[in-house]
Amino acid sequence: MKKINQILVAIDRSAMAAEALKRAISIAKEKDAQLIIMHVIEPSFVESPFVHAIDEDAIKKQLIEQIDQLNSEADLKYILFVESGSSAASITLKAQKTKADLLVIGTHGKDDIKSNYFGSTTLKIIQNTHIPVLIVKNETKNMYEKMLAPTNLSDYSKESILFANILFNTPSMKYLYAFVTVDELQALRYRISSEQKDQFKEELLSDAKTALEIFIKKIGEGEMALIGYRASINEDLLEYIIKDKSDLLVLGSKGVGNLNSFVFGSTASYLVQSSPIDVLVYVPAST
């Protein structure tokens, strides 16, 4: 995978935007990458003679003051863009034009009228860009220490983990594999005895463990974790994420617009929005 040369961070006026900027600054410093900062001014949906024209120069001046304060220690050179338009479309286009290798945005993972980069806008950006997206949901203090990667053992899941290891080369990695338990099979097929159920459970667990071990051998060392789910993989995964105390969730994707992919399917969309920890979504370059 190529070197991280360009990092684009999209900011608004929210507190989490400031945390996203701090995270982008720390990564750019670590990777010796160009830092590009973007602020999008959403057009007003209500036209009124009482609504004053937006002063982009004044907004840019205020942003520079805030950025310089957060950047005082790192003292990185940066490029700032202030533009008007749709947040998702403008950010996606800027990522393409600047050939960014990573996009950083801040969000609480739920809709918030005070921010342009929350909820559905975040998902639109992920679905329409062709680069990895780091979603910052928490206060930025130190570099990540523990990464958790839910995996379906696919090639694109493998790529997401390899990219995460390149971007953050110090944290530990845990691989989380969810497999269907015998209870789900029983519900879908036919009644089975307790002895058969126990036997099926052991076989499914053994097969899942073997498959995960083979997967890990291809991408490097890491801790293993297995979840046998019955009905709701979304809730089971989220429960594990909350209890695990990792600080970065790593998700992979087949590609943009594929609704059957791990990222853009319901499970990953659910995790992107509901995860209490930061999320790195790896999107492979378009072909």
Q: Is the pLDDT score of 123 beyond 50? A: yes
Do 282 and 151 lie in a common domain?
yes
Domain termination residue (choose one: 140, 164, 194): 140
Do 188 and 287 lie in a common domain?
yes
Q: Domain limits at 118? A: 1-140
Do 156 and 281 lie in a common domain?
yes
Do 191 and 109 lie in a common domain?
no
What integer best gives the mean pLDDT of the chain?
83
Higher per-residue pLDDT: 119 or 270: 270
Q: Is the pLDDT score of 213 beyond 90? A: yes
Do 34 and 80 lie in a common domain?
yes
Do 157 and 281 lie in a common domain?
yes
- CATH number for 28: 3.40.50.620
Q: What are phi and psi of 35, to 5 degrees?
A: -100, 125
169 — pLDDT class (breaks 50, 70, 90):
confident
Do 174 and 237 lie in a common domain?
yes
Q: What is the pLDDT of residues 267-287, one digit of tens each?
A: 778 888 889 999 999 876 654
Do 219 and 154 lie in a common domain?
yes
Do 112 and 250 lie in a common domain?
no
Q: What are phi and psi of 155, to 5 degrees?
A: -65, -40
116 — pLDDT class (breaks 50, 70, 90):
very low
Do 287 and 161 lie in a common domain?
yes
Domain termination residue (choose one: 83, 115, 140): 140
Domain termination residue (choose one: 121, 140, 159): 140
| 161 touches 151 (CB < 8 A) | yes
Do 162 and 285 lie in a common domain?
yes
The 3-class secondary structure across the chain, one letter per residue, is CCCCCEEEEEECCCHHHHHHHHHHHHHHHHHCCEEEEEEEECCCCCCCCCCCCCCHHHHHHHHHHHHHHHCCCCCCCEEEEEEECCHHHHHHHHHHHCCCCEEEEECCCCCCCCCCCCCHHHHHHHHHCCCCEEEECCCCCCCCCEEEEEECCCHHHHHHHHHHHHHCCCCEEEEEEEEECHHHHHHHCCCCCHHHHHHHHHHHHHHHHHHHHHHHHHHCCCEEEEEEECCCHHHHHHHHHHHHCCCEEEEECCCCCCCCCCCCCHHHHHHHHHCCCEEEEECCCCC
Of the listed ranges 36-40, 43-47, 242-246, the least confidently predicted one is 43-47
How many folded domains does the chain comprise?
2
Do 125 and 188 lie in a common domain?
no
Q: Percentage of the chain with pLDDT > 70?
A: 80
Q: What is the pLDDT of residues 21-38, one digit of tens each?
A: 999 999 999 999 999 999
